[in-house]
């Protein structure tokens, strides 16, 4: 009878069959591949976890922490508390951002930190109006005070040059040089570059009459060329405003400059403009001593009889007909308007009969002029020191 639970056959002592070794190698390869796949999955999962955690950390730092207070974990921007002391000059360059200005002020010792300044800059609605330029601020200022001063243009360093009506180029350059410290030689050099200064070709290199009388503000680093260019540009703007054609601008300035130097009372300017036109129409000499004096490089009171008959002086309107070769000074708006709109009248002469008040009388005939001149002589006798 056969036992259902019979013992297994005895072990074989010879080498294993070839089919068993092949199966074992396959199992080993499959196991190694599985381990590699598990390692790759773990690396990917770890990387994704780091990305998620890092992104969450960045979001919290940028958007959550700034609105919370954790004491030393999120310290307040360092800032000074007082009004500051002493003074220092700083430059705000064109296009500077709040951060750029903050860095400039930090380096100059004005603010304690860039962060405090940019915070104050962002909270001040006027900060967008801060203009480029040089400013005098105090050291160790509260950031908000520094922003307020800059926005209000307080402490901005500027040179103010005032050009009065009737000033000559030499007088204007002398004043501009004295205020800005730019040597007169720099202005002489700048005048040669008419392209840079914008002087019209009709002026033939002569700036007389083209430097408009006004008050100008210049930054400390301004150049002589920039000063002249701004004054010439202002003259052009005024002539354009008055609708003076470019072909007539030089002539208008010549006439206006004569009136500017002769008229003591603005109401007399249109009458003088009419006298000039009447004399030019008749081919008469203008007889304007201010022009004679300009050409002789003297004041009107220093003219001699020889000066009055000197034909070598191109500005001697006593002996030469027509207009002088160029303006004799910088005329103001009222003088230019007088040239454009002369008064109606037949006058051919004028003379100031009171050198203190500038009272001037006009005459149609030479006989009337002689009577007016006698009035001047009487005033001079009564005022010998004038």
Please identify, among 193, 208, 241, the residue that sits at the C-terminal boundary of a domain: 241
Residue 37 lies in a domain: no
The pair phi, psi for residue 134, each rounded to 5°, is -105, 130
Q: Which domain holds residue 150?
A: 85-156
Domain count, the chain: 3
| 378 and 271 housed in the same domain | yes
Give the CB-side neighbour count of residue 56, counting CA atoms within 13 A: 6
Please identify, among 127, 156, 185, the residue that sits at the C-terminal boundary of a domain: 156
Structure tokens at 132: 């480029």
User: How distant is the alpha carbon of residue 219 from its chain centre?
Assistant: 7
CA distance 248 to 211: 17
| 109 and 179 housed in the same domain | no
130 neighbors 73 (Cβ within 8 angstroms): no
| 128 and 147 housed in the same domain | yes
For residue 278, give every residue at least 6 positions away whose Cβ sits within 8 Å of its Cβ, in sequence order, or none. Answer: 346, 347, 348
| 365 and 275 housed in the same domain | yes
| 209 and 124 housed in the same domain | no
Q: State the pLDDT at residue 16.
A: 43
Residue 280 lies in a domain: yes
CA distance 239 to 217: 21
Q: State the pLDDT at residue 188.
A: 97
Could you tell me the CATH number of the domain that includes residue 121? 3.30.1490.480
Burial of 81 per CB tally in 10 Å (0-12, 13-18, 19+)? exposed
Residue 46 lies in a domain: no
Residue 137 lies in a domain: yes
| 211 and 284 housed in the same domain | no
CA distance 265 to 354: 12
Question: Can you spell out the DSSP letters for 144-163?
Answer: HHHHHHHHTTTTEE-EEEE-
Residue 151 lies in a domain: yes
| 145 and 97 housed in the same domain | yes
Structure tokens at 95: 């296009």
| 298 and 360 housed in the same domain | yes
Residue 348 lies in a domain: yes
CA distance 240 to 196: 20
Q: State the pLDDT at residue 1.
A: 40
149 neighbors 87 (Cβ within 8 angstroms): no
Residue 312 lies in a domain: yes
Structure tokens at 72: 């030393």
* Beta strand ranges found along the chain (DSSP E): 85-92, 133-139, 156-157, 159-162, 215-218, 349-354, 359-363
Residue 361 lies in a domain: yes
CA angle at 376 for the pair 371 and 380, rounded to the nearest 5°: 145
Burial of 312 per CB tally in 10 Å (0-12, 13-18, 19+)? exposed
Which residue from 346, 357, 353 is spatially nearest to 373, judged by alpha carbons?
353
Q: What is the DSSP letter of 309?
A: T
Low-confidence ranges of the chain (pLDDT < 70): 1-75, 386
| 89 and 197 housed in the same domain | no
Q: State the pLDDT at residue 162.
A: 96
- Put simply, whether the predicted model's pTM sits higher than 0.75 gets the answer no
CA distance 243 to 240: 5
Q: State the pLDDT at residue 352.
A: 93
| 237 and 293 housed in the same domain | no
- Each residue of 6-17: pLDDT tens digit? 444 444 444 444
Please identify, among 156, 183, 200, the residue that sits at the C-terminal boundary of a domain: 156
- Per-position b or e across 240-273, b if 16+ CB within 10 A of its CB: eeeebeeeebbebbbbbbbbbbbbeeeebbbbbb
Helix (H, G, I), strand (E, B) or coil at 362: strand
| 375 and 277 housed in the same domain | yes
Q: State the pLDDT at residue 3.
A: 40
CA distances from 165 to 161, 310, 330, 340, 349 (A): 13, 28, 6, 18, 23
| 170 and 210 housed in the same domain | yes
């Amino acid at each position: 009878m056969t036992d259902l639970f019979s013992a297994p056959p005895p072990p074989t002592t010879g080498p294993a069959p070839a089919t068993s070794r092949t199966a074992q190698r396959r199992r080993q390869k499959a196991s190694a591949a599985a381990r590699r796949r598990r390692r790759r999955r773990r690396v990917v999962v770890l990387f994704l976890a780091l990305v998620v955690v890092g992104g969450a950390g960045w979001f919290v730092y940028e958007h959550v922490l700034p609105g919370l207070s954790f004491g030393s974990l999120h310290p307040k921007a360092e800032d000074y508390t007082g009004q500051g002391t002493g003074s220092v000059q700083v430059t705000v360059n064109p296009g500077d951002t709040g951060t750029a200005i903050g860095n400039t002020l930090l380096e100059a010792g004005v603010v304690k930190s860039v962060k405090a300044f940019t915070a104050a800059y962002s909270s001040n609605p006027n900060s967008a109006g801060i203009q480029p330029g040089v400013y005098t601020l105090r050291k160790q200022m509260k950031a908000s005070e520094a922003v307020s001063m800059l926005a209000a243009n307080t402490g901005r360093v500027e040179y103010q040059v005032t050009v009065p009506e009737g000033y000559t180029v030499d007088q204007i350059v002398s004043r501009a040089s004295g205020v800005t410290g730019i040597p007169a030689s720099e202005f002489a050099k700048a005048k040669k570059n008419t392209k840079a200064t914008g002087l019209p070709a009709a002026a033939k290199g002569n700036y007389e009459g083209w430097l408009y009388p006004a008050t100008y503000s210049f930054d400390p680093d301004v150049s002589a060329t920039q000063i002249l260019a701004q004054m010439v540009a202002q003259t052009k703007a005024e002539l354009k405003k008055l609708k003076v054609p470019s072909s007539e601008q030089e002539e208008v300035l010549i006439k206006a400059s004569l009136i500017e130097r002769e008229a003591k009372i603005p109401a007399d300017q249109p009458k003088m403009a009419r006298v000039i036109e009447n004399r030019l129409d008749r081919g008469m000499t203008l007889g304007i001593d201010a022009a004679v004096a300009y050409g002789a490089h003297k004041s009107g009171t220093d003219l001699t009889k020889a000066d009055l008959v000197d034909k070598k002086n191109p500005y001697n309107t006593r002996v030469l007909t027509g207009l002088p070769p160029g303006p004799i000074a910088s005329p103001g708006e009222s003088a230019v308007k007088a040239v454009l709109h002369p008064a109606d009248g037949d006058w051919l002469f004028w003379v100031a009969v009171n050198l203190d008040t500038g009272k001037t009388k006009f005459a149609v005939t030479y006989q009337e002029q002689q009577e007016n001149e006698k009035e001047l002589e009487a005033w001079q006798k009564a005022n010998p020191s004038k």
